[in-house]
Amino acid sequence: MANSLRKEPYGKLLVTRSTKTLMLHIRALQFTETNILRSHYPMIQ
């Protein structure tokens, strides 16, 4: 019982960390895409 309790928070931490990393990557990709679009099409704000 103690074993599963010890593992549980670590698993949640891992999921949280990977989700945050994923969100950061997605944000970075969107930012890069927007910059590329802006440089190709100056009328896009």
Q: d(Cα 19, Cα 11) in Å, to the nearest integer? A: 12
The stretch 12-17 carries a mean pLDDT of 84
Q: What's the whole-model pTM score?
A: 0.53
Instruction: Tokens for 41, please give them.
Output: 């099409």
Contacts for 44 with CB less than 8 Å, ≥ 6 apart: 37, 38
What's the structural domain count of the chain? 1
25 in any annotated domain: yes
Sign of CA dihedral 15, 20, 26, 28: negative
26 in any annotated domain: yes
14 in any annotated domain: yes
Task: Give the structural domain span for 9.
Answer: 1-38
30 in any annotated domain: yes
34 in any annotated domain: yes
45 in any annotated domain: no
Q: Name the 3-class secondary structure at 41.
A: coil
43 in any annotated domain: no
Residue 12 has a pLDDT of 82
Asked if residues 34 and 26 have their Cβ atoms less than 8 Å apart, the reply is no
44 in any annotated domain: no
Confidence band for 42, pLDDT divided at 50, 70 and 90: confident
Question: Which has more pLDDT, 41 or 9?
Answer: 41
The stretch 10-38 carries a mean pLDDT of 88
